[in-house]
């Protein structure tokens, strides 16, 4: 009785809907018995977590689905207490070290070592190792990543690590080399349409093909989104109309409007208005990188071809600076101003030519 995303999530490797070949390989890896550390990466909504949980089930059987949540407490050297939530079954534990913020190193060092050092008691179990799943590894601090290196080698006999990340670029090379990297690419549009059709069939609703295509396009190859959109649209209006408006998250609409404002007016006043909107977005916990990304997308839509390269490189530059700095608003605004300057100059020049 949950969202369709959760309801129709395949729980075994065999039931996967796409990337079937990869699924087979994973299956083989499990049966062969020589299970390495894994680094699973790919864009959001591609099915990383689905694969991980299917893999676990393949390894340990249905017992792995009996989950419990635990809170673990750590004390930092500066005597600050931090609490990290873990999700665990008898066979594995999942943790997001980012919950500890800049103290993620301590979580890695203490908790993982603890888990790794203890042997699996259940001799009847299929595997002699436990699995530790670390999510959002690309957001770990460098310290924490380095802390992970030795642990991974030392406790190979008792524990395997599965690291989940969006991109490998922020993971240090030593970690990458210790893991078997598995890329889960975003599903193709066809895959998404297939899944959408399958779900609507199971739900007993009719999904026109055109509408499915529209949904798939709109979802930007993010299956989670596609399913959520489908469900939301179904709640909004059923039977589906091909022209029907697809539900969008507010923040995306808001960002799109912001982008349009940037294109329509270039002045300090417009800058001030855009700033207000960016503050609003930031206060709604939208990641600053996401803001720049979506803004760029919106701008590029309205922008002349010859400017696209320049603006994109600007966006990349400011996104990078943003990661290096403290106050994201400075950098986002710098990007906005830069775009406005470029765009304004371009407009004036093209007018002059006419």
Partner 1 sequence: MDDEFPDPDEEYEMRYADEFEMMNEFDFEEDSAPILPKGNDKKVKKSLNFNDGSNDSSRPNSSMSGHAVASSDSRSNSRMSGHANLTSDEAGRKRMQDEVFGSLSDDEELCGKGSNPSKKSRNDDILLDKCTTHTIPDMYEEPRAYRAPRPKRYVFRLVPEEPHQCVTTHTGQKLFIRLKSEESLRQREIDLNSKSVGKLLKVSVASLKLQMHNETRSKSMLVSEEAFERRLRELEKTEYKIKGTTVDDMGNNSKNKSTDSWMDLYRPKNYLDLLSEENVNRTLLHWLKLWDKAVFNREVKIRAPKIDENVKPKWAQEQKSAGARGRFDNNKKFEHKKKFFNKNTDGELKEELDPSGRPIQKIVLISGPPGLGKTTLAHVVAKHAGYFPVEMNASDDRNVEAFKLQIEAATQMRSVIGANPLPNCLIIDEIDGAPAASINFLVNTVTQEGAQNKENNQAAKKKKKKGINIVSRPVICICNDLYTPSLRPLRQAALVLQFPPTNPNRLAQRLLSISKEQDIQVDMTTMLALCEKAEYDIRSCLATLYFLKAHGRPLRYSDVMNLNIGHKDSHKSLFQVWQEIFHIPRQKRNQYIGANEPEGMLPLAPDVDRPLAPNAGNNASMPARFANILHAVHSCGEYDRLMQGVFENYPTIKFKDSYLNAVCTGLDWVCYFDHVNHFIQVNQNYCVFGYLPYAFIALHFQLAAVLSQKIKYPTAQTELKAKQGKNESIVSTMLQDLKPNVRITNSKETIIQDIIPFSLPIITPSLRPVSAQLYSAEEKEQILRVIGVMISYNLTFRQEKSIDGVYRYCLEPDVEQVANFEIVNVQRKSLTYSVKQMLAREIELEKLRQYESNLGPVTTPTVTIEEIEEPKVIKPPPNAAMTLALKPKPIAESCKPATDFFGRPLKTPPKKKNADGSIAKTAQNDVWYHFKEGYSNAVRRNVKMEDFI
Site for partner 1, residues 81 to 120, rule: CB under 8 A? 85, 87, 94, 96
Output DSSP code: residue 119: P
The residue count for binding partner 1 (CB under 8 A) is 74
Which one of 134, 152, 228, 291 is in contact with partner 1 (CB under 8 A)? 228
When asked if residue 146 is in the footprint of partner 1 (CB under 8 A), the reply is no
Which strand (E) or helix (H) includes residue 203?
helix 189-203
**Selection from 129, 140, 153, 138 nearest residue 106 by Cα:** 140
Query: How open is the CA angle 184-167-255, to the nearest 5 degrees?
Result: 100
Cβ atoms of 71 and 83 closer than 8 Å: yes
Which one of 266, 292, 295, 311 is in contact with partner 1 (CB under 8 A)? 266
Site for partner 1, residues 50 to 69, rule: CB under 8 A? 50, 53, 65, 67-69
Q: How far is the CB of 97 from partner 1 (least distance, A)?
A: 12
Q: How far is the CB of 283 from partner 1 (least distance, A)?
A: 4
Measuring CA to CA, how many Å separate 195 from each of 18, 198, 285, 335? 9, 5, 30, 38
Cβ atoms of 238 and 266 closer than 8 Å: no
For partner 1, the closer CB: 300 or 342: 342
For partner 1, the closer CB: 155 or 258: 258
Q: How far is the CB of 136 from partner 1 (least distance, A)?
A: 6
Judged by CB under 8 A, the stretch of 30-38, 151-159, 193-201, 267-275 that binds partner 1 is 267-275
Which one of 143, 146, 251, 265 is in contact with partner 1 (CB under 8 A)? 251
Between CA 347 and CA 68 the distance in angstroms is 59
Q: How far is the CB of 95 from partner 1 (least distance, A)?
A: 11
When asked if residue 73 is in the footprint of partner 1 (CB under 8 A), the reply is no
When asked if residue 286 is in the footprint of partner 1 (CB under 8 A), the reply is yes
The neighbour count for residue 242, using CB atoms within 10 Å, is 10
When asked if residue 205 is in the footprint of partner 1 (CB under 8 A), the reply is no
Site for partner 1, residues 294 to 333, rule: CB under 8 A? 318, 321, 324-327, 329-331, 333
Query: How open is the CA angle 110-141-327, to the nearest 5 degrees?
Result: 135
Judged by CB under 8 A, the stretch of 14-22, 121-129, 296-304, 340-348 that binds partner 1 is 340-348
**Which residues contact residue 42 at a Cβ distance below 8 angstroms, ignoring those fewer than 6 apart?**
48, 166, 183, 184, 185, 186
Is 197 exposed, middle or buried (CB count within 10 Å of its CB: 0-12, 13-18, 19+)? middle
Site for partner 1, residues 10 to 39, rule: CB under 8 A? none
């Amino acid at each position: 009785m949950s969202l369709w995303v959760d309801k129709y999530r395949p729980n075994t490797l065999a039931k996967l809907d796409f990337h079937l070949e990869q699924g087979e390989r994973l299956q083989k890896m499990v049966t062969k018995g020589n299970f390495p550390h894994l680094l699973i990466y790919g864009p959001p909504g591609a099915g990383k977590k689905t694969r991980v949980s299917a893999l676990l089930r393949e390894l340990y059987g249905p017992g792995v689905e009996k989950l419990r949540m635990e809170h673990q407490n750590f004390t930092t050297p500066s005597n600050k207490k931090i609490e990290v939530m873990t999700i665990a079954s008898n066979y594995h534990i999942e943790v997001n070290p980012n919950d500890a913020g800049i103290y993620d190193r301590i979580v890695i060092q203490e908790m993982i070592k603890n888990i790794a050092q203890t042997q699996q008691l259940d001799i009847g179990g299929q595997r002699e190792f436990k699995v530790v799943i670390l999510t959002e590894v690309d957001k770990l601090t460098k310290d924490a990543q380095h802390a992970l290196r030795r642990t991974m080698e030392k406790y190979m006999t008792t524990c395997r690590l599965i690291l989940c990340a969006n991109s490998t670029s922020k993971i240090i090379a030593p970690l990458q080399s210790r893991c078997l990297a598995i890329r889960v690419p975003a599903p193709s549009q066809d895959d998404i349409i297939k899944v959408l059709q399958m779900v609507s069939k199971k739900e007993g609703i009719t999904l026109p093909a055109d509408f499915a295509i529209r949904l798939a396009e709109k979802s930007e190859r993010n299956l989670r989104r596609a399913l959520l959109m489908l469900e939301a649209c179904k709640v909004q209006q059923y039977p589906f109309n091909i022209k029907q408006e697809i539900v969008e998250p507010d923040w995306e609409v808001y960002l799109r409007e912001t982008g349009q404002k940037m294109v329509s007016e270039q002045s300090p006043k417009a800058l001030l208005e855009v700033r207000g909107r960016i503050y609003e977005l930031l206060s709604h916990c939208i990641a600053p990188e996401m803001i720049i990304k979506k803004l760029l997308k919106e701008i590029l839509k309205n922008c002349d071809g010859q400017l696209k390269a320049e603006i994109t490189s600007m966006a990349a530059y400011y996104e990078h600076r943003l990661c290096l700095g403290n106050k994201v608003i400075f950098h986002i605004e710098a990007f906005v101003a830069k775009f406005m300057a470029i765009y304004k100059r371009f407009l004036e020049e093209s007018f002059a030519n006419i």
